[in-house]
C-alpha cells in the first residue's frame, strides 16, 4: 500500500446459517457415499447368497428324493421277504403232505399187507386249526388180490370218559357230514375216508373202534380197536 492512496475496506456478507448448511451438506454427502457403497456391495453380493440358497435347496431336494427311494426299496424288500416266507411255508406244507402220501402208499402196498383179507388201518387224528375240532382219516384196505370189489358200511365209535362216567359217541354224532348207520364202503384195493369232527366239551376220548360190515361179494364183519394216544398225530 502506498501512502497517499485512500484505504478501502471490503465487507463480505455471509448468511448466518451458511456454516451450518455447509456442515449439513457435508454430512449428507458422506451419508450418500456410504449408502452408495453399501448398496453397491449388497447388490454385488446378492447373486452369491442366492446361489448358496439355490444349492442348499437343490441338495435338500436330492436328499428327500434319496430318502423316498430308500424307503420305497425297504418296503419292497420287506414285502418280497414276506412273500418268499409264505411261499416257503406253503411249499413245506405241500412237501409234508407229499411225504405222507408216499408213506401211505408204501404202507398200503407193502407185500405183507397184500396177503390177508380186509384190513382196517390205524386211524390218523390231528387237531384242526379251530379249537375243539379234529381232522380224521380212516382207511379200509383189500388185502387179498383178485377177490373183486368190496361193498358195505364202516361204523366208527369213540369211547372215553365224560363227567367221570364211560361215554360212547358215534361218528355221525361228532361229524355233521357223516350219516347214521355208518359210512358207505365201495372199493377194490382201498378206500380212504376223511373229515372233521368236534369233540363235546368235557369228553375225554380214550380210543376209537372201527367196524367194517361187508356184504359183497360175501358177508363179513371186521373189527379193530385203537387207543387214542396211538392215533393222534402232530403236524
Please give the share of the chain, as a percent, with pLDDT higher than 70. Answer: 66
Which tens digits make up the pLDDT trace of 52-72? 677 888 888 888 888 888 889
Domain-by-domain residue ranges, the chain?
18-108, 115-231
Count of CB atoms situated within 10 Å of the CB of 158? 22
Three-state secondary structure call for residue 220: strand
Residue 108: pLDDT over 70? no
Fold of 115-231: Immunoglobulin-like (2.60.40)
Rounded distance between C-alpha atoms, residue 50 and residue 35, angstroms: 22
Which tens digits make up the pLDDT trace of 71-92? 898 888 888 888 888 877 777 7
Which tens digits make up the pLDDT trace of 147-178? 678 899 999 999 999 999 999 999 999 998 88
Residues 6+ apart with CB under 8 A from 200: 162, 169, 174
Predicted pLDDT of residue 57: 83
Amino acid at each position: 500500500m502506498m501512502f497517499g492512496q485512500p484505504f478501502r475496506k471490503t465487507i463480505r456478507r455471509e448468511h448466518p446459517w451458511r456454516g451450518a448448511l455447509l456442515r449439513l451438506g457435508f454430512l449428507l454427502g458422506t451419508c450418500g457415499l456410504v449408502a452408495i457403497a453399501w448398496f453397491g456391495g449388497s447388490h454385488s453380493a446378492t447373486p452369491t447368497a442366492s446361489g448358496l440358497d439355490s444349492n442348499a435347496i437343490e441338495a435338500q431336494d436330492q436328499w428327500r428324493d434319496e430318502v423316498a427311494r430308500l424307503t420305497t426299496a425297504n418296503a419292497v424288500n420287506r414285502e418280497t421277504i414276506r412273500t418268499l416266507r409264505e411261499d416257503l411255508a406253503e411249499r413245506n406244507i405241500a412237501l409234508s403232505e407229499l411225504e405222507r402220501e408216499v408213506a401211505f402208499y408204501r404202507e398200503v402196498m407193502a407185500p405183507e399187507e397184500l396177503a390177508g383179507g380186509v384190513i382196517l388201518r390205524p386211524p390218523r387224528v390231528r387237531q384242526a386249526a379251530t379249537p375243539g375240532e379234529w381232522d380224521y382219516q380212516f382207511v379200509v384196505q383189500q388185502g387179498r388180490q383178485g377177490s373183486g370189489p368190496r361193498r358195505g358200511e364202516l361204523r366208527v365209535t369213540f369211547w372215553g370218559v365224560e363227567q367221570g362216567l364211560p361215554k360212547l359217541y358215534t361218528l355221525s354224532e361228532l361229524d355233521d357230514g357223516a350219516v347214521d348207520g355208518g359210512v358207505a364202503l365201495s372199493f377194490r384195493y382201498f378206500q380212504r375216508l376223511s373229515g372233521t369232527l368236534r369233540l363235546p366239551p368235557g369228553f375225554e376220548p380214550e380210543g376209537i373202534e372201527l367196524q367194517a360190515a361187508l356184504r359183497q361179494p360175501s358177508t363179513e364183519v371186521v373189527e379193530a380197536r385203537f387207543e387214542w394216544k396211538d392215533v393222534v398225530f402232530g403236524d
